[in-house]
Amino acid sequence: MPEAQPPSPLRLDLLGPVAVEHADLRIVELPLRSPFTTSFGTQTVRRALLVECHGDGATGVGECAAGIEPAYSAETVTTARDVLRHHLLPGVLGQPAATVADQLQRVAWVRGHNMARAALEMALLDLAGRISGVSLGAVLGAASDRVGCGVSIGIQPSLDATYALIDGYLAAGYRRIKLKCRPGYDVELARGVRTRFPDALVMLDANSAYRLEDLPVLHQLDAFDLMMLEQPLAHDDLVDHAAVQAQLRTPICLDESVESVADARAAIQLRAGRIVNIKAGRVGGLIPAVAVHDVCRAAGWPVWCGGMLETGVGRAANVALAALPNFTLPGDTSASDRYFEADILTEPFQLQPGGTLAVPTGPGLGVELDPARVAATTQHHERVG
Ligand code: SMG
Ligand code: MG
């Protein structure tokens, strides 16, 4: 007999009806404190699309995870803006619904565009939460009031520069170090870090930079007691990941390859890894993210919350999600000052002793935009509806 599985923690029933009278699409741009280099490129700014939904005298805001270039994902800030403007927002504007789920059902016919859809969902959940006086954490089923944080370190000009950053982040309290890697910047990196930081929780993220032919390199990486190896192979692959996982001691963590609950189920069935990095944007929203969490939990796969260099808006949602019971590993939920000199919130996320962030408890996302910071960083703004 299979063991009885715990019920999903999701509590959408805590939210009342929601109506969106009009919306704003806004693009803000925040310079990163330092360039962020991955196997697919370098980013120097976070350009973020914000969706603001207004109704019942309140405003809900959502942040789209998409970046400037279609490199991590097919979606970009501009594709998401177009899909929101022409397809998603017209499906909900001026059409009150009994629940957020009903509201989202109206645009369920839109295929793909997960990050655009997730931004709308976040705005609706924030709006409904503010109107009902319920925090997003409570709605998603948060099981703790703080979450353990890791930090993601981009590819650096030298190994010494990487070691210096690790030193600083460990001293600040971060619990886990993730290092971006790519072919040629991998084995010496892992060896050097292991030698200098023998007790640290260290993992690598390749962002799909390897192929099956690179198996000998992955075997070499297997010797360094890495906590996990994230997305070594193609963004749309599960079969080759399964072949590699069968040969490695190090757990593979899937990121790009899991865009839906169906993908998570397939990954589990194929044994394409042992861990999933959950990003709500990648899987089409926080509600689907909880569903992925539930599927992984039932299979005994731990999960953790990924990051897309979010401003405080997306970070608030990430932190609420990361408080769910099967988020047992520290996530890429770093403090605002890891990314920006100044965030767009009245109160930025600050790392607490022990390397944690506090889960917001106020209604909705539980954070407030700083109007002056929003004005200073806005590059584009349009009213819809
Ligand atoms: O938000 O701290 C963050 C960044 C975490 O490494 C991170 N994200 O593949 O997991 C990943 C990358 C994707 C973002 S690349 C801009
Ligand atoms: Mg990743």
pLDDT single digits (tens) 357-374: 999 999 999 999 999 999
- Give all domains of the chain, ordered by start, each with its CATH number: 12-133+370-384 (3.30.390.10), 139-358 (3.20.20.120)
Of these residues, 47, 180, 274, 297, which one is catalytic?
180
| Per-residue model confidence as pLDDT tens digits over 265-320 | 999 999 999 999 999 999 999 999 999 999 999 999 999 999 999 999 999 999 99
State residue 351's pLDDT score: 98
Closest CA to 27 of 1, 63, 3, 56: 63
Looking at the CA of 258, name the nearest ligand. Answer: 2
**pLDDT mean over 250-266:** 98
| Per-residue model confidence as pLDDT tens digits over 205-226 | 999 999 999 999 999 999 999 9
- The rounded Å distance from CA 207 to ligand 2 centre is 6
| Per-residue model confidence as pLDDT tens digits over 115-171 | 999 999 999 999 999 999 999 999 999 999 999 999 999 999 999 999 999 999 999
For CA atoms 344, 345, 351, 356, the dihedral sign is: negative
State residue 277's pLDDT score: 98
Burial 32-58 (b: 16+ CB within 10 A, else e): beeebbbbeeebebbbbbbbbbbbbeb
Q: Crossing angle of helices 261-270/286-299, nearest 10°?
A: 20
Residue with CA nearest ligand 1 atom 14: 308
1 pLDDT above the threshold of 70: no
Measured distance CA(188)–CA(220) in Å, rounded: 10
Q: Which residues have any ligand 1 atom within 6 Å of their CB?
A: 36, 38, 43, 67, 72, 152, 205, 207, 255, 306-309, 332, 334
Alpha helices in 246-311 (DSSP H): 261-270, 280-283, 286-299
- The rounded Å distance from CA 91 to ligand 2 centre is 32
**pLDDT mean over 3-28:** 93
User: What is the model's pTM?
Assistant: 0.97
- The rounded Å distance from CA 236 to ligand 2 centre is 13
State residue 6's pLDDT score: 85
Which residues, including other chains, have CB under 8 Å from residue 105's CB and lie 6 or more apart?
A: none
Position in ligand 1 atom list of the atom nearest CA 231:
9
Of these residues, 117, 241, 279, 282, which one is catalytic?
279
Which residues, including other chains, have CB under 8 Å from residue 38's CB and lie 6 or more apart?
A: 72, 154, 155, 180, 182, 205, 207
Average pLDDT, the chain: 97
State residue 3's pLDDT score: 62
State residue 4's pLDDT score: 72
- The rounded Å distance from CA 142 to ligand 1 centre is 23
**pLDDT mean over 223-231:** 98
- Compute how many other C-beta atoms are within 10 angstroms of the C-beta atom of residue 356: 20
2 pLDDT above the threshold of 80: no
Measured distance CA(255)–CA(194) in Å, rounded: 24
Check if 178 is active-site: no
Check if 180 is active-site: yes
Task: Tell the burial category of 378 from Cβ atoms under 10 Å away from its Cβ (0-12, 13-18, 19+).
Answer: middle
Instruction: Name residue 369's beta-bridge partners.
Output: 345
Position in ligand 1 atom list of the atom nearest CA 332:
2
